[in-house]
Amino acid sequence: MMNDLDKKVLDAIRLVCLFKESAKLYPVICDELELGTNTPGMSRSDRQEALKRLEAAGHIRRGRTINRYYYVPTINDKDMNAYEAKLKKYLDETASKDKAFAEKYAAKIEKDGGIDKSIKGCGDYIASEVSKNRKRQVWTDPEIYGMALHYYDEGLTAPTNTPRYDVVVTNPELTEEDKKRLEIEAKQAVEADYRRKAEQRIKDEAERAEKRRKQAEQKKQEQLEKKRKELEAEATLFSFEEE
């Protein structure tokens, strides 16, 4: 079983790559800076050890440039039906933007024994819920996706007796204008995120520099005080009192 450190590093790489893929930001890789940002509190040595284990296990692949990593899917997307694949795509995209949901999503997948079983269980749960309202034949994406999120948010269990069902997945085509707008919005979001992180790094460095300056000043004052006391002690050795 994968340990917590390896799992945290793999999830970080996976989510960064999923976000870049959805935003069409190529190459779809996770570099060391992005990995560090998405694994707060983890030391660089721990990350490096986890990366070695993940690469050896085939979960990630190192890029030609050092410290850049590709996520290697270990699931059979092609074996999923269109319904399950669409659910998975939405859940992956949600997890890439919402860290709280990403943790629940990853934990449920591990508990279910893998992404294939987990997504199938989610699909079966939705089918079970839909079957309770036999008067309706058509459900909107937000309604279906809402059930999927509820399934993972609450850590629900797939029904044991799943009703037989057929799902027709519609895929409305985006216009070129919509695609261009979404691409611009995604790039702007990434650029804003990078700017925020860069500003935070500058702020953190300034705070560290100020802390070092204060420590140096305090040390200097302590040394001056020590020297003053030494001089006073030496002066008393040669003091003369008039009789």
Of residues 220 and 175, the one with the higher pLDDT is 220
The span from the CA of 93 to the CA of 100, in Å, is: 13
Q: Point out the least confidently predicted range of 75-79, 133-137, 162-166, 231-235.
A: 75-79
| Mean pLDDT for the stretch of residues 38-54 | 90
pLDDT tens digits, one per residue of 176-234: 665 666 567 666 767 777 788 888 888 888 899 999 999 999 998 988 888 888 877 76
Query: What is residue 28's predicted lDDT score, i.e. its pLDDT?
Result: 76
Give the pairing type, strands 60-62 and 68-71: antiparallel
Domain 1-74 of CATH type 1.20.120:
no
Domain boundaries, the chain: 1-74, 76-172, 176-233
pLDDT tens digits, one per residue of 93-129: 999 988 899 989 988 888 888 887 888 889 888 888 8
Of residues 54 and 173, the one with the higher pLDDT is 54
Buried b (16+ CB within 10 A) or exposed e, 53-63: bbeeeebbeee
Query: What is residue 147's predicted lDDT score, i.e. its pLDDT?
Result: 92
**Does the pLDDT at position 142 exceed 70?**
yes
pTM flag (> 0.85): no
Q: Is the dihedral of CA 112, 116, 118, 121 positive or negative?
A: negative
Q: Identity (one letter) of the amino acid at 206?
A: A
**Does the pLDDT at position 165 exceed 70?**
no
Query: What is residue 182's predicted lDDT score, i.e. its pLDDT?
Result: 57
